[in-house]
């Protein structure tokens, strides 16, 4: 197991997670949001990574997460932008996008994709439809998937269709 800390351009907070894989464009990690909590996955755009530190095996965080870490994780293709976003579109799950500001993420689903950008159907915190926005791949600092927050919103949306 490799536990990594990433410094992202223009972000104050460090993103920390267990290394799963990487490509020329991305790092794919199981997200360690705080202390010993693993919550979802992050796909980090290498273009915006300013520094990477590996947490030493003798650190307490590493020891606890190594015991807790499950080798099973969501395998997804991260070869390039089109492959990654095609997969996410096909899955039709809510994703979170981290852009320039670390103060918020955009939540929604991918509607259509092309070579340099994609149409993103955004929803608000109360699951209200906001708008469809075109986002360039090279503006994305990270993608969040399968977090408790996103899965909870999806559950609410599914339940509210039957109310």
pLDDT, tens digit (0-9, with 9 covering 90-100), for 105-130: 999 999 999 999 999 999 998 899 99
Query: Which CATH number belongs to the domain containing residue 95 in this structure?
Result: 2.30.30.600
Query: What share of the chain in percent tops pLDDT 70?
Result: 96
Query: What share of the chain in percent tops pLDDT 90?
Result: 79
Q: Is it the case that residue 163 has pLDDT exceeding 80?
A: no
What's the domain range around 13?
3-160
What CA–CA distance (Å, rounded) separates 58 from 60?
6
Give the pLDDT mean for 33-50: 94
Give the pLDDT mean for 64-74: 76
Q: What is the per-residue pLDDT for 140? A: 97
Contact 134, 123 (CB under 8 A): no
What CA–CA distance (Å, rounded) separates 102 from 81?
21
Q: Is it the case that residue 142 has pLDDT exceeding 90?
A: yes
For the chain, what is the domain count?
Answer: 1
- Mark out the alpha helices in 1-147 (DSSP H runs): 60-68, 81-91
Tokens of residue 157, six digits:
């949306």
What CA–CA distance (Å, rounded) separates 51 from 9?
9
């Amino acid at each position: 197991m490799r536990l990594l800390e990433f410094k992202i351009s223009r972000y104050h907070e460090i993103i920390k997670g267990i290394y799963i894989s990487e490509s020329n464009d991305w790092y794919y990690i199981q997200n360690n949001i705080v202390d010993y909590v693993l919550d979802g996955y992050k796909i980090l755009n290498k273009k915006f990574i300013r520094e990477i530190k590996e947490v030493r095996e003798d650190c307490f965080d590493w020891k606890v997460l190594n015991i807790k870490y499950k080798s099973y994780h969501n395998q997804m293709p991260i070869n390039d932008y089109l492959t990654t976003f095609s997969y996410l579109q096909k899955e039709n799950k809510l994703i979170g996008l981290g852009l320039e500001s670390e103060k918020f993420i955009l939540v929604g689903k991918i509607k259509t994709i092309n070579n340099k950008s994609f149409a993103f159907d955004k929803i608000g915190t109360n699951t209200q439809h906001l708008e469809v926005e075109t986002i360039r791949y090279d503006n994305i600092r990270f993608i969040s998937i399968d977090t408790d927050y996103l899965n909870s919103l999806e559950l609410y949306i599914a339940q509210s269709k039957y109310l």
